[in-house]
Amino acid sequence: MKMKKQIVQLIEQHGTPLFVLDHNKLRRNYRTFKKNLPRVQCYYAVKANTHPEIIKTLFLEGSSFDVASYNEFMQIYEYIKHFGEEDKDFFIWDKIIFSNTIKDKDTLSKIKRYRPLVSFDNSDELKKIKTYCDTAGLILRLKVPDTGSQVEMSSKFGAEPGDAASLISQASDAGLRVEGLSFHVGSQCTNFDNYSAALAITSEILNDARSKGYDMNIVDIGGGFPVPYDAQVPEFAKLAKLINSECQRLFPADVEIIAEPGRFLAATAATLITEIIGKSRRDGKIFYYINDGVYHTFSGVIFDHWLPNFTAFKSGEIEVCAVVGQTCDSFDKISLSIQLPVNLEIGDYLLTENIGAYSIASSTNFNGFTGAKIIHTNPSC
């Protein structure tokens, strides 16, 4: 009842749709990550949610950042430079990793002056880096198992483990230095065997390279840490215990372990409030039309395989209903199988939880709709 009253007050003050970002939850998620993985430095994956207030909160918590484009790189660089005025010569590798394995030549040319830490996974990328950004430190991304992950990665990214030694040698011959290895087991990974296999593969390649005289001391275990969207998702603490044990067993103490959580930090930190703007019964099923959709805050339904959730503030007989967006595109269907009361009316509200990641970050202005208004609770000072 208290929560409903607070939501009504927010609606009266701001209208709908309304994206409510709870920075206390964001802090708790970060601290949970650090508590369970004390050896691992967190590089927040900015692509999950690029909002500047999220960056600020996580920076103040001690996070570093994983970027995938020049704009993301400069967003973080300028922010850190502004808030770290007492340390103008900060070591950029401690703050930013450019983890996109493919970078256009203009981007490489523009970031060369910063001596960045960048990922690669093929020889053509090495040649490009040598030509346009030979000041970079390199991280070789490996292809690893991603079975059972919500979003797989291995079909697009990662060098075959059997090619790793050759790529490290090619980099050295070109006068470049491979500082370490990385992998990504796929987003929302609930199959913990993926991590075990990936860590074993990475350890074997790292030990072989070091035995040949290559001074590599960074292991990036990527992202994929599972968000508790429902009770079926395995507990993060169990995964962290496995990662801690394997890292202690497989990697010497001088190896720096880093990770790129995005969804894990941002997903549960936001709630969306939408309004029913239309209602009809089509082929026997009730359709609720709301003032948001897949081109806007629900973009994760399309781009991230995210399963939406809705809670009504009115009780009544439940049926399988459809919830669809406000645009004129028939593609704009959020869900065709959501259990909701059938007595909801135009002007009623729906609540969607755990929508902080891959939502507003990939929202558009399609059809001229501008998307949800963003408000912050418990923001950083």
The residues carrying an active-site annotation are 328
CB neighbours of residue 85 within 10 Å: 7
Residue 285 has phi, psi (to 5 degrees) of: -115, 140
- Identify each DSSP E strand in 291-355 by its residue range: 311-312, 318-324, 333-341, 349-353
Judged by DSSP in three states, 42 sits in: strand
The dihedral through the CA atoms of 65, 68, 71, 73 has a sign that is positive
CA 192 and chain centroid, separation? 18
Token duo for residue 349: 């509200």
Q: Which helix (H) or strand (E) holds 220?
A: strand 218-220
Cβ 66 vs Cβ 225: under 8 Å: no
3-state secondary structure (DSSP) of residue 293: coil
Give CA–CA dist 199/193, Å, rounded. Answer: 10
What length does the chain have? 381
The tally of CA atoms less than 13 A away on the side-chain side of residue 219 is 28
